[in-house]
Amino acid sequence: MLFSSMFFLGAFLPAVLAGHTLLQWLAQRDGAAHRVWQEAANAFLLAASLVFYAWGEPRHLLVLGASIGLNYAAGLAVASLRTGNRQHRAVAVAVVLNLGLLIYYKYMNFFMDAAGMGLAERIAQPLGVSFFTFRGISYVLDVSRGVTRASRSPLTFGCYMALFPQLVAGPIDRHPLLAPQLAARRLDCEGFAEGARRFILGLAKKALLADTLAKVADAAFNAPAQELSWTMAWVGLVCYTLQIFFDFSGYTDMAVGLARMLGLRIAENFNYPYIARSVREFWQRWHMSLSSWFRDYLYIPLGGNRRGSARTAFNLFMVFFLCGMWHGAGWAFIAWGAYHGLCISLERFFPVFFDRMPRLLQHGYLMLAIMLGWTLFRAPTLAAALDYYGALVGLSTPGEAVKEVLWHLHGVDVQAALLLGVLFSLPTASWIAQRLPAGLAASPVFALARTAALAVLFAVSMAPLAGKTFQPFIYAQF
């Protein structure tokens, strides 16, 4: 089930919000039986999350259940062993089992194809497997490090692993953030309204900006690169650069908003990544829950930057090589990860060159580096990416593909999405909000106007859903 489906918006979400609100109200009202009602609310949330997952992936519900059971048991085992070699072995077993599950379902087809032994029956990848596997690994490691306590409640732990707002495409929240909230949280009208606003803005990002820009990006990347002019190749790449940001950040806004309506605060995942001035800073602003995961559970344990230049370069390369593999089982994704590792290594070892650039030039370098990387990310194969690079530098003969890209580009909706996409990929909204008169921002008239604008935005965003032109979220495939 996707956040964008009519069933989710018209039936599932209202039913979940109504049921959870009732149980949470009873938990907040009945002090003597607070824990009982809170467990009931968590049980309801877990059941709803499993229904959400099973709606589109019924055969993989057992995989999710196995992951929950494995990590719940591993957490208790690691906590009971406390310290020493036995605990280390228990942690190692849990991590290996988690990675084994991920490797089997996500990479086995790729490995067998690379070895020339393609499987007759392809192994289907469970939805969100990369996300809930990493959530489980971080939990076991945090228990072993004493960062969090092992969860005694299977209901609370199940909610942590499978909470439907973040199940399919993150953020990859840590147990210390969610566990206290699942044990005790409060619903209030202000938080619910804040969540609804965030959800609507995320839906608009996806439906009105990302999917509109996808028309041009798809036309460019799906066409034979040899038939693209260099101008249309760059136009397609610019559109994809904006599309993937609004697609993924839109999903995150919807997830954060849904969680807020349930009385929970989950991690932010984006902080205007395209205003960065280096690839390193970009990763501090893009998919922040993933980049911090790799930092805390791989880069630092490998030694970080504490063991000399050569080891630091190796650690950076390994982190981004695996980051590329995490995103997808294919040579293009691996090359994308290695490319980012190379960029960050160069920035680190030649700081005099990069740091002395004028700020505008730094930003230009960042956008060029990221866009060239997105070519690897978007192209279906590594060979297709190389062909697209050829088109970007004019090594192609323009043909029919140019006409299709131009046809989409002439659309008023695409032109508006391009303009708004550039504006709102920057902190434009924050800049405007900071300059509103204090009295106006707090006035009832402003609140009413904002509510009316959000209602119109929601209605307009629903149109693609009704017309069945809404595309799946890009990161849902990972």
Q: Which of 60, 327, 340, 408 is catalytic?
A: 327
Cα separation of 251 and 303, whole Å?
34
Rounded distance between C-alpha atoms, residue 423 and residue 432, angstroms: 12
Question: What's residue 28's pLDDT?
Answer: 83
What is the DSSP annotation of 166-187?
A: HHTT-----HHHHHHHHHS---
**Active-site residue, 410 included:** no
Predicted pLDDT of residue 77: 95
Structure tokens at 1: 């089930």
Residue ranges in 82-225 assigned as alpha helix (H)? 85-102, 108-114, 129-145, 154-162, 164-167, 175-183, 189-204, 211-222
Report CA 296 to chain centroid distance, whole Å: 18
- The reported pLDDT for the residue numbered 468 is 64
Cα(276)–Cα(343) distance, integer angstroms: 14
pLDDT at 207: 92
Nearest-CA neighbor of 377 among 226, 223, 241?
A: 241
Instruction: Find the length of the chain.
Output: 478
Determine the pLDDT at residue 390.
95
CB 204 within 8 A of CB 454: no
Q: What is the pTM of this model?
A: 0.93
Structure token digits, residue 444: 């009832």
**Running along the chain, 478 residues long, what does each successive block of 10 average in pLDDT?**
84 96 87 83 96 89 96 96 87 96 92 80 90 97 95 95 93 95 90 95 95 95 92 96 97 97 95 96 96 95 85 90 93 95 91 87 96 96 95 90 90 95 92 80 83 93 74 81
Nearest to 328 by CA among 274, 378, 369: 378
Residue 363 contacts residue 371 (beta carbons within 8 Å): no
pLDDT score, position 368 = 97
List, for residues 196-212, the tens digit of each pLDDT value.
999 999 999 999 999 99
Cα(355)–Cα(352) distance, rounded to whole angstroms?
Answer: 5
How does pLDDT run across 67-112, given as a tens digit for each residue? 999 999 999 999 998 778 899 999 999 999 999 999 999 999 888 8
What is the three-class DSSP state of 273? helix
Alpha carbon separation from 460 to 203, 353, 456, 473 (Å, rounded) = 10, 47, 6, 19
CA distances for 95 relative to 64, 139, 158, angstroms: 16, 10, 18
Domain borders along the chain are 6-187, 191-477
